[in-house]
Amino acid sequence: MHLCSTVIEPIKALATSQDQHPSFTSAVVTMGSPDRGQEGSSLHLSCAGFNEPPLTVLERDTWELGDTKPPRHLSAAPERALPGLYLSCFDMLVTEDAAPRPEPRKDPEQCPVIDSQGLGLSLGLDGQMEERSLEQVQSLVVGEVLKDIETACKLLNITPDPIEWNAGNVQKWMLWTEHLYRLPQVGKAFQDLNGKDLCAMSEEDFRQRSMQCGDVLYAHLDIWKSAAWMKERCSPGDSKFTGGEELWSEADSFCSGQPIHLWQFLRELLLKPHSYGRCIRWLNKEKGIFKIEDSAHVARLWGIRKNRPAMNYDKLSRSIRQYYKKGIIRKPDVSQRLVYQFVHPV
DNA sequence: CATCAGGAGTCTT
DNA sequence: AAGACTCCTGATG
């Protein structure tokens, strides 16, 4: 499988340009996290394609380090919901190069574009190397997206594909997304919608239900839809996206399995510092010592997971203390507030 | 005041 | 029955 070679230019543009181009669909790669930029090690990618050329442009987005919301303009997505069009750059990533090799692009002013008509660059040796490294970057990006979604699935006990969600799952996802991006609570506006309804909604529908963050929710859902679509499209055994398949199957088994334990939940949060590092983080990962930075937030997330709206840190900490006897969690030797230690660190 | 420790009854799976 | 939830009293910083 080859990447469409014209993806290279957009990535270059990503590194150098902050300008937006009027004729983009939206494909966004950002470093860091919507919630916590400091970790900065993971890539967040989201795209939404129009089905008219130019099909996709990667652009640098304003969703920068430290920002708390995904890019607004992500929402520039198609009104008609064709699964294959949700994420045209994913499309490019997973599609065999069926189209004829494109001509070199002559116009330097032209915005970098993944041309839907199959136009692009023919590459020399350098280009091939670039292509390879770009492929690695994209693989990494997609892998990170899949991992993030996998984690959320585990934590929420929902399936990765939004279309399968019932109304309860939708509410959970909404609550979770609100907390992740620190959005105002608007879940009520989406009550009684199942996943199918949600997926059928346009950005405008989202905006109508929530002026404040409908577009953000729409964009976030778009990522999930795209990932689900990609998962479906990836043939089993395709190891292109590092661990992607395993991650998914892992997530599936987790979702359909036993209820998650609190200690597992905490560990999952700790494994995603770029998403949850603001509320819980390792003090000493080797020794399994962690600190709950935002007790209310962690309790709220746990409450969402367990469908316990009344959950608070008082109750959560009581549950943690039950682990003392069982030898799962203890207080570290030097006891500190909000600091605990896994007895058997990974 | 928030956190911590632990008893005890209830609920959920 | 296990694990978690809930409510509680009392201690600590």
Between CA A212 and CA A188 the distance in angstroms is 13
Q: What is the pLDDT of residues A166-204, one digit of tens each?
A: 888 999 999 889 888 888 888 889 988 999 999 999 999
Residue from A236, A273, A261 nearest A323 by CA: A261
Residue from A167, A161, A168, A174 nearest A194 by CA: A167
**Whole-number distance in Å between A317 CA and C8 C1':** 15
Identify the pLDDT of residue A30. Answer: 34
Q: Exposed/middle/buried for A117, CB within 10 Å: 0-12, 13-18, 19+?
A: exposed
Residue A131 structure tokens? 């292509």
Identify the pLDDT of residue A323. Answer: 96
**Which amino acid is residue A245, in one-letter code?**
E
Identify the pLDDT of residue A269. Answer: 94
Residue predicted with more confidence, A311 or A134? A311
Percentage of chain A with pLDDT > 70?
Answer: 53
Residue with CA nearest C1' of nucleotide C13: A337
Would you place residue A334 in the very low, low, confident or very high pLDDT band (cuts 50, 70, 90)? Answer: very high
Residue with CA nearest C1' of nucleotide B4: A337
**Whole-number distance in Å between A214 CA and B1 C1':** 37
Residue A218 structure tokens? 């729409």
Dihedral, CA of residue A336, residue A340, residue A345 and residue A346, to nearest 10: -120
Integer angstrom CA distances of residue A168 from A180, A252, A255:
18, 18, 14
Angle CA(A31)–CA(A279)–CA(A169) in degrees, nearest 5? 85
Q: Is the pTM of this model over 0.85?
A: no
Residues 6+ apart with CB under 8 A from A139: A93, A240, A241, A242
Evaluate if residue A246 carries a pLDDT over 60.
no
Residue A157 structure tokens? 């006990």
**CB-CB contact of A310 with A260 (8 Å):** no
**CB-CB contact of A209 with A189 (8 Å):** yes
Between CA A338 and CA A316 the distance in angstroms is 12
Positions of chain C reached by protein Cβ under 7 A: 3-8
Residue predicted with more confidence, A276 or A71? A276
- 8-state DSSP, A239: -
Mean pLDDT of A155-162: 89
Identify the pLDDT of residue A314. Answer: 96
Would you place residue A257 in the very low, low, confident or very high pLDDT band (cuts 50, 70, 90)? Answer: low
Identify the pLDDT of residue A50. Answer: 29
Would you place residue A124 in the very low, low, confident or very high pLDDT band (cuts 50, 70, 90)? Answer: low
Mean pLDDT of A18-28: 31
**Whole-number distance in Å between A297 CA and C2 C1':** 27
**Whole-number distance in Å between A287 CA and B4 C1':** 22
Question: Does the CB of A324 sit below 7 A from strand B?
Answer: yes
Mean pLDDT of A18-44: 33
**CB-CB contact of A7 with A138 (8 Å):** yes
Residue A70 structure tokens? 């995904």
Nucleotide of closest approach to A313 (CA, C1')? B3
Per DSSP (E only), the strands in chain A are: 26-31, 43-48, 58-59, 280-284, 289-292, 329-330, 339-342
Q: For the CA atoms of chain A, what is the radius of gyration?
A: 21
Between CA A132 and CA A248 the distance in angstroms is 25
Dihedral, CA of residue A220, residue A243, residue A267 and residue A71, to nearest 10: -20
Question: Does the CB of A322 sit below 7 A from strand C?
Answer: yes
Mean pLDDT of A232-252: 43
**CB-CB contact of A268 with A256 (8 Å):** no
Q: What share of chain A is helix, strand, coil (3-state, %, to 5)?
A: 45, 10, 45
Evaluate if residue A23 carries a pLDDT over 50.
no
Residue from A337, A344, A333, A288 nearest A313 by CA: A337
Residue predicted with more confidence, A12 or A142? A142
- Torsion over CA: A224, A183, A195, A257 (sign): positive
**Whole-number distance in Å between A287 CA and C8 C1':** 33
Question: Does the CB of A262 sit below 7 A from strand C?
Answer: yes
Between CA A174 and CA A224 the distance in angstroms is 12
Identify the pLDDT of residue A101. Answer: 39
Q: What is the pLDDT of residues A58-84, one digit of tens each?
A: 333 333 333 444 444 433 333 333 333
**Whole-number distance in Å between A329 CA and B12 C1':** 23
Q: Which residues pair with A114 in a beta bridge?
A: A56
Would you place residue A131 in the very low, low, confident or very high pLDDT band (cuts 50, 70, 90)? Answer: low
Cβ atoms within 10 A of the Cβ of A124, count?
9
Mean pLDDT of A89-116: 35
